[in-house]
Structure 1
Amino acid sequence: MSAKILTPLAAAALLAGCATPPQVVRAGDPAFAHGKTLALAPSAAEPGDRARPDQAAALVLGHLKARDARLADPASADYLLQVTFAALPKGVGVMRSKAGDWLADPKAGRRWGLRGPAYALSVTAIETRSGKAAFSATATERAHGEPAAAVDRLVTAALARP
C-alpha cells in the first residue's frame, strides 16, 4: 500500500522540479509603452525560420497594446521593437548583470550533471529620437515541451511588471 502512495508523490516531485518559471533579466519598466506608438524593427531572420519570431512579435505587440500602446509606421513610431526567440545550445550561460553574476552558469552542474538546451526570448524597445534602449528584457527557460508554448510563457515573463 505504501508503494501506491509513494510512487505518485515521487512522480509529482520530479515533475515539479522540471516546471520552474522562466528566468528574466530586465532593464527598464514595461510600462514605457503606455500611450506611445510602436513599430517592429525589420528582421534579418531567414524566411524559413520566421514562425516562432513572428509568433513572439505578435504576442509582444498584443501585451503592449493592452497597455494602451498603438501601432505606427516605423518612421513615425516613438519606439522600435526588436523581438527575438532562439533555442540556445546546451552549456550556454546567461549573465544577470554587468557585474558578472550568473543567472545560469554554463559550467555549473545541473541536476544529475545534465546541461540541457534552453529557450530564450529578448525584447528591446529603442527610442526612435535618441536611439537609446528604453526597455529590454531577456527571458530564458530550460527547453522542454513545444517551442510555441515556450514563446507564450517567455513573453509573459519578460513583460511582467517588476
Structure 2
Amino acid sequence: MCAGLAGCATPPVELSLAPGAPPSGASVRLPAETTSWMTDLEAALKAAGFRPVGEDGARADYLVQASFAERPAGVGAFVPVAEGAAHWLAKSREARFWQRRRSDYSLTVLLLDTRTGKPAFRANAQQRAPAGEGAEMAPVLTAALAERLRPQ
C-alpha cells in the first residue's frame, strides 16, 4: 500500500538560478501585465529585496521578462546538437493508466541588464502536476522562486 501511495506524492519544485542569485536591493522594471501570477511575482521580488520602478522615468537596473508555461508530460523538449542527435532538456513520460493526465509547469524569470541589454540572471521553477491546474501552480512556483532569491 505504501509503495502505491508513494507514486501519488507531489514531486518537489525543481529550481535553477544562473549564474546565481542576483544582488538584492537592485531596481527592477516589471512588464505592464496585470495577471495574478505577475502580481505574485512582483510581491516575491519585493520580498527578495528588489525595488520595483514605475514608469516615472527612473532607470531600473534590470528589466524583468517572465513566462509561465504548461507542457503535457507526454511531450519531451530537446535541443538539436551538431551531430544530428538531440540533447534532452526534458524527456517525455508515459502516463500510467490509473493517473490523470499530467503536465509540466514552468515559471521562468529573466533579468536583463539595462546598461548592456544582455541577460544577467535567469531563474526557473518547474513542477509536474495534473493537467489544467495552471492557475493553482503559478503561485506555488512563484513562492518557490521567491524563497530562493531571498538573501540568506
Q: Normalised by the size of structure 1, how large is the TM-score?
A: 0.66
**Offset of residue 39 of structure 1:** 0.8
Can you list the C-alpha shifts for 1:61-112, whole angstroms capped at 9, x where unaligned?
Answer: 21221132111136511111111112223433356xx9x7645213xx4463
Residue ranges of structure 1 left out of the alignment (5+ in a row): 1-5, 44-49
Query: Hey, what's the Cα distance between the residues in 1 that align with 2:114 and 2:75?
Result: 32
Residue aligned with 1:153, SS: helix
* 1:57 and 2:38 matched: yes
Q: Which residue of 2 aligns with 1:28?
A: 19
Residue aligned with 1:15, SS: coil
Can you list the C-alpha shifts for 1:20-77, whole angstroms capped at 9, x where unaligned?
Answer: 01223431223x251111111356xxxxxx7xxx222222221221132111136511
Cα 1:62–1:131, aligned 2, differ >3 Å: closer, same or farther? same
Cα 1:134–1:37, aligned 2, differ >3 Å: closer, same or farther? same
Taking the TM superposition and a 5 Å limit, the aligned residue runs for 1:2-151 are 6=1, 9=2, 12-16=5-9, 19-30=10-21, 32-42=22-32, 54-73=35-54, 76-94=59-77, 102-106=88-92, 109-110=93-94, 112=96, 116-144=102-130, 146-151=133-138
CA contact 1:79–1:128 (8 Å) conserved in 2: yes
Instruction: Give the counterpart letter for 1:23 in structure 2.
Output: E
Cα 1:23–1:89, aligned 2, differ >3 Å: closer, same or farther? same
Cα 1:136–1:71, aligned 2, differ >3 Å: closer, same or farther? same
CA contact 1:26–1:158 (8 Å) conserved in 2: no
CA contact 1:117–1:143 (8 Å) conserved in 2: yes
What's the % identity of the aligned pairs?
A: 32
Give the aligned length.
139
CA RMSD after TM alignment: 3.2
